[in-house]
Amino acid sequence: MITGKNHIGNRLSALGSKTYKTFNPQSNIENGHVFSEASKDEIDEAVNLAAEAFKAFRTISGVKKAVFLRAIADEILNLGDALLDTYCSETGLPKGRAEGERGRTVFQLRTFADLVEKGSWVEASIDTAIPERTPVPKPDLRKMSIPIGPIVVFGASNFPLAYSTAGGDTAAALAAGCPVIVKSHPMHAGTGELVASAVVRAGQDTDMPNGVFSNLNSSGIEVGQHLVQHPKVKGVGFTGSIRGGRALYDLAAKRQEPIPVFAEMGSINPVVLLPEALKKNIDGWAETYAKSITLGTGQFCTNPGLLLGIKSDALDEFIKKLADGIVHIEPGCMLHPNIFGAYEKNKSRALAQSELSLVADFENHVTTNYARQALAKVDGADFLENLSLHQEVFGPFSIVVQCEDVKELELVISKLEGQLTGTLIVDNKEMIEYQSIIEALKNRVGRIIFNGVPTGVEVCPSMTHGGPYPASTDSRFTAVGIHSIKRWVRPFSFQDWPNDLLPEELKNENPLKIKRLVNGEWTNNKI
Ligand code: NAP
């Protein structure tokens, strides 16, 4: 049931005076539930509870955390159609997408459960003492990852389940042993509340400390700002715009005790079309990219917003076919009138640049909040000059950059801001001939794709979802997959600590049978 209240630990609360509603972009009307924005007292209470909960939660065994994470997954599934219907009414997305995203959310929670149950993720490392070493004896040193403390997670507008309330950031932080306070995304507050109720039930059923999870409503930037500045908050996870992510990053850096902000932000995901590979399959690549650019109405962080090629007849034909493909795809509804408004504004701003020429625009009538997909083109030299064309237009919009030659193509790639992904359309011979292009692209992105599309993010350990700034604030970490847990831990060493007082992970007997680096050798053996 949706109450419109905040979850402050296990308690529901609505003390604030500011209220708001979510919006159904398909029917273009407000949804019925009224949400109460968290007051300053409620924010403080949630953070204080999280800090208290951390004292117990930080040392809870991996097995118990796994039980908690699996219970969250089960409780989310138990929400049934109520969750799916709310999701659809707050996003305009179809039920199939809601089911798919729920499946992904549940999979992420269960994957983290498996990870912490097995236990080796803590990267235990042991160097035993050498008392007889000269000139000084070597002490016994044992290291493992430990959680950093309460984490604030900002729900993403474009993934109400998989990157929001109990999404990747929350699952990773809880798996690490960090309590989570979610700053619910205002566009899908009902979906957020339902998922929050599932997390709270799971926590109570599995005896987790009260405060290990809270969910706070807000419809403006104040709640998030207050949370990031709260001295007891020790880390932040964010998915959204560069402007929002950067503002929070700066705020966190200005605190008396600065804290890490792991923000995954804008990306235009360049696709490099090398001449031979393009010429061999113009129709195929045009069709594939028409679908990728418009997938999910372009509202994916991996949307291909930039196609880079070298001027040729083949590139001209590709542009024509891609334009034709794009305008024959039915427009889709955007997540919210604000996202739709931002798309229209940013698209118009880009098209107002004199260097850019429009090559395709869906011209037929569209329903309110439905986005007209568009394609534009620009010369390489103009693109290099006009930095505004390097900015993300969130939605089904892409620019083709026509470079004079390989040298200009390499320059364009090297001048791009950091990106989540880079894609190469390339044949085997070109892999050798265009080495410098490939190296330039690798230097700007977190994931490189061979003859494919950037849309579609597999959740698995080898996925990197992050990249050089501004794709993310710290390119050393991923936001997707089990290794995202590393954002919420720090390395910690015990020196000459008595064996029976060490955590299980570091004891001589290796009771958890985890993989450890013992005196330079990886082993599951005891010492
Ligand atoms: P957003 O504007 O960055 O907001 C994300 C969250 O951060 C919201 O909960 C927002 O709070 C909060 N926030 C934003 N600025 C803040 C600030 N200065 N201080 C404190 N909190 C702040 O993103 P969005 O609302 O999800 O979508 C808007 C635009 O972001 C889209 O049109 C798109 O351009 C971009 N976006 C990009 C991606 C991507 O993956 N590339 C994904 C999603 C969105 P309130 O809403 O309560 O103000």
Which among 141, 195, 178, 226 is positioned nearest to 53, based on CA atoms?
178
pLDDT band at 365 (very low <50, low <70, confident <90, very high): confident
Backbone angles phi, psi at 42, to 5 degrees: -65, -40
Phi, psi of 346, rounded to the nearest 5 degrees: -70, -35
Minimum CA distance residue for ligand 1 atom 34: 394
pLDDT, residue 333, reads 97
Write down the domain spans for the chain.
Answer: 6-125+140-265+477-487, 270-450
Give the residue whose CA is nearest to atom 30 of ligand 1. 241
Query: Could you tell me the distance, in angstroms and rounded to a whole number, from the CA of residue 265 to the centre of ligand 1?
Result: 9
Strand segments, DSSP code E, in 100-150 are 125-127, 141-147
Distance 227 CA to ligand 1 centre (A): 16
Sheet containing 6-8: which strands, arranged edge to edge?
A: 11-13, 6-8, 213-216, 180-183, 151-154, 235-239, 261-264
173 C-beta neighbours (distance < 10 Å), count: 29
| Active site amino acids | 264, 301
Check whether 525 has a pLDDT greater than 90.
yes
How many CB atoms within 10 Å of residue 331?
Answer: 19
**CA of residue 451 to ligand 1 center, whole Å:** 31
Residue 364 has pLDDT above 90, yes or no: no
Give pTM, 2 decimals: 0.97
What is the per-residue pLDDT across 142-170, written as a single tens digit (0 to 9) for each? 999 999 999 999 989 999 999 999 999 99
pLDDT of 172 > 90? The answer is: yes
Ligand 1 pocket test, candidate residues 221, 264, 420, most atoms within 8 A of CB: 221
- Say what the pLDDT of residue 471 is: 97
Q: What's the 183 CA to ligand 1 centre distance in angstroms?
A: 11
Widest distance between CA atoms in the chain = 84
d(CA 284, ligand 1 centre) in Å? 35
User: Is the pLDDT higher at 491 or at 1?
Assistant: 491
Dihedrals phi, psi of 203, to nearest 5 degrees: -65, -40
- Report the atom number in ligand 1 closest to the C-alpha of 392: 34
Q: What is the mean pLDDT of residues 1-12?
A: 97
Strand pairing partners for 263?
238
* HSE of 1, CA atoms in CB hemisphere, 13 A: 3
pLDDT by residue (tens digit) across 269-325? 999 999 999 999 999 999 999 999 999 999 999 999 999 999 999 999 999 999 999
CATH number for the domain formed by residue range(s) 270-450: 3.40.309.10
Question: Using CA positions, which residue lies closest to atom 19 of ligand 1?
Answer: 221
Q: What pLDDT shows up at residue 143?
A: 98
Banded pLDDT at 90 (limits 50, 70, 90): very high
Residues 319-344 have pLDDT tens digits of 999 999 999 999 999 999 999 999 99
Phi/psi at 495 (5° precision): -115, 125
Mean pLDDT calculated for residue range 352-376:
94
pLDDT tens, position by position, 471-511:
999 999 999 999 999 999 999 999 999 999 999 999 999 99
The band of 395, judged by pLDDT with boundaries at 50, 70 and 90, is: very high
Q: What are phi and psi of 301, to 5 degrees?
A: -65, -15
| 518 has a pLDDT exceeding 90 | yes
Rounded to the nearest integer, the mean pLDDT of the chain is 97
Ligand 1 centroid – CA 244 distance (Å):
5
Provide the 8-state DSSP code for 6. E
270-450 matches 6-125+140-265+477-487 in CATH topology = no
| CATH 3.30.1330.80 correct for 6-125+140-265+477-487 | no
Per-position DSSP letters for 363-403, written without gaps between them: -S---TTBPPPEEEEEEHHHHHH-GGGGS---SSEEEEEEE
363: pLDDT strictly greater than 90? no
Q: Which atom of ligand 1 is nearest to the CA of 222?
A: 20
Q: Could you tell me if residue 158 is left (phi over 0), alpha (psi between -120 and 50 degrees) or otherwise beta?
A: alpha
470 cis-preceded (ω within 30 degrees of 0): yes
Residue 266 has a pLDDT of: 83
List the residue whose alpha carbon is closest to atom 8 of ligand 1. Answer: 185
Burial of 484 (0-12, 13-18, 19+ CB in 10 A): buried
Q: Which atom of ligand 1 is nearest to the CA of 245?
A: 3
List all residues whose CB is within 6 A of at least one atom of ligand 1.
154, 156-158, 183, 185-186, 218-221, 224-225, 239-241, 244, 247-248, 265-267, 301, 339, 342, 392, 394
